[in-house]
């Protein structure tokens, strides 16, 4: 809000960063940010924030829908067109009663219609206002999407609709570095010291190139850690790769532990846990192989080091906090 042209800056934010920024700053700031956001950023907000494991969290979905409405019709139209139709169908099924009435039949009390045949009534006064704005906008500005929502809400089973929505969501989250939960859980599979794979030693270029960063410039969770010290001794190219793998371990932990991916504290907490486990594994493998920690880190997957560390010193899994919204579609 302090910069001269935020509309030029907001689209440059990584997709997940925009969602975390909105949640950290409060949903009261969401509407103007969504107005300036890219389609991928808007979709990431829904992917990261409105799902609790494998179920849609309706209360969170409503907050983003309200933000789209507040941002104005142009932004709402973009949201209707860009976001998965399954998201709108599931939300509509939760917010509205829908009836198909012949033109010669009497209009049902408390319902409204846009097309003269399909009638809507909100589950609450607030839902009525939301539905009316969504359906009026869709019918006037994006009619094919209006009928997709209507037919989906009338005839699709919520469980099947949710299954399709999860399939698209999981694919997009994978592009953002978050694996599916079943895959992420493998990070906790026990691994003994003798099972740790070693890569080709020819890739180890001791003393070649320069460090990626100094230890003081590493993420806070890595400063003063064994893995942070070892990382700073690696050649720049390899250090960049290894740091990326370490962040991948943190993402897997966040998913496996059921953390809210839109919470500003989730990934830092997951990274802290990843570094702790990798430190334990790195120390053990270095002693087992009688090699310097930097040489071991160069030749070993960080995920394997974490698995060794977790095997030696099991850490509790941080599932969602008790106050996390659990209102989901059945």
Return the pLDDT at 239.
87
Number of Cβ within 10 Å of residue 262's Cβ equals 22
- Tokens at 169, concatenated: 């969501």
pLDDT number for residue 49: 95
Instruction: Give the pLDDT confidence score for residue 236 in this predicted structure.
Output: 83
pTM given for the model: 0.82
pLDDT value of position 322: 36
**pLDDT at 237 (0 to 100):** 82
User: How many C-beta atoms lie closer than 10 Å to residue 221's C-beta?
Assistant: 21
* One-letter-per-residue 3-state SS of 70-84: HCCHHHHHHHHHHCC
> How much is the pLDDT for 105?
85
Indicate the Cα dihedral angle 304, 306, 309, 314, nearest 10°. -120
Q: What gap in Å lies between CA 81 and CA 102, rounded to an integer?
A: 28
| Segments in the chain below pLDDT 50 | 201, 203-214, 216, 320-330
Tell me what pLDDT residue 330 has: 39
Task: Give me the pLDDT at residue 103, please.
Answer: 79
Locate 51 and state its tokens: 């799902």
Give bridge partners of residue 99 from the DSSP assignment: 119
58 alpha carbon, distance to own chain's centre: 16
Helix orientation angle between 143-155 and 125-141, rounded to the nearest 10 degrees: 130
**Structural domain spans, the chain:** 6-175, 181-312
As a whole number of angstroms, the distance between CA 223 and CA 229 comes to 8
Tell me the pLDDT tens digit for each residue of 2-43: 788 888 999 999 999 999 989 888 898 899 999 999 999 999
**Torsion (CA) 21, 27, 31, 34 in degrees, nearest 10:** 30
What is the model's pLDDT at position 217?
64
CA 130 to chain centroid, in Å, comes to 25
CA 114 to chain centre: 35
Hey, what are 59's tokens?
């209360």
Note the pLDDT of residue 316: 79
- Contact present, 56 and 90 (Cβ < 8 Å): yes
Residue 98 backbone dihedrals phi, psi, to 5 degrees = -125, 135
pLDDT tens track for 74-98: 999 999 999 999 999 999 999 999 9
């Amino acid at each position: 809000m302090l910069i001269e042209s935020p509309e030029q800056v907001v689209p440059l934010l990584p997709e997940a960063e925009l969602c975390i920024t909105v949640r950290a700053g409060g949903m009261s700031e969401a509407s103007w940010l969504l107005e300036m956001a890219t389609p991928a950023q808007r979709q990431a907000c829904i992917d990261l924030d409105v799902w609790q494991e494998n179920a849609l969290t309706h209360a969170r979905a409503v907050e983003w829908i309200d933000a789209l409405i507040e941002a104005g019709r142009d932004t709402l139209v973009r949201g209707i067109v860009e976001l998965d139709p399954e998201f709108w169908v599931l939300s509509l099924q939760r917010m509205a009663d829908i009836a198909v009435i012949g033109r010669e039949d009497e209009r049902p009390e408390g319902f409204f219609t846009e097309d003269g045949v399909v009638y809507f009534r909100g589950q609450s006064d607030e839902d009525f206002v939301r539905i009316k704005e969504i359906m009026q906008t869709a019918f006037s500005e994006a009619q094919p999407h209006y009928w997709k929502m209507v037919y989906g809400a009338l005839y699709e089973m919520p469980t099947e609709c949710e299954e399709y929505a999860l399939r698209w969501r999981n694919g997009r989250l994978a592009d953002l570095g978050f694996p599916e939960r079943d895959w992420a859980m493998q990070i906790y599979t026990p691994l003994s010291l003798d099972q740790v794979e070693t890569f080709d030693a020819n890739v180890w270029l001791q003393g070649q190139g320069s460090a990626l960063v100094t230890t003081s410039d590493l993420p806070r969770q890595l400063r003063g850690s064994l893995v942070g010290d070892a990382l700073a001794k690696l050649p720049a190219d390899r250090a960049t790769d290894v740091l990326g793998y370490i962040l991948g371990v943190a993402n897997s932990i966040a998913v496996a532990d059921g953390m809210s991916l839109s919470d500003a504290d989730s990934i830092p907490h997951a990274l802290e846990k990843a570094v702790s486990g990798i430190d334990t594994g790195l120390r053990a493998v270095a002693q087992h192989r009688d090699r310097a920690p930097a040489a071991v880190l160069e030749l070993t997957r960080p995920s394997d080091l974490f698995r060794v560390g977790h095997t030696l010193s099991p850490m509790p899994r941080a599932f969602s906090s008790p106050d996390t919204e659990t209102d989901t579609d059945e």
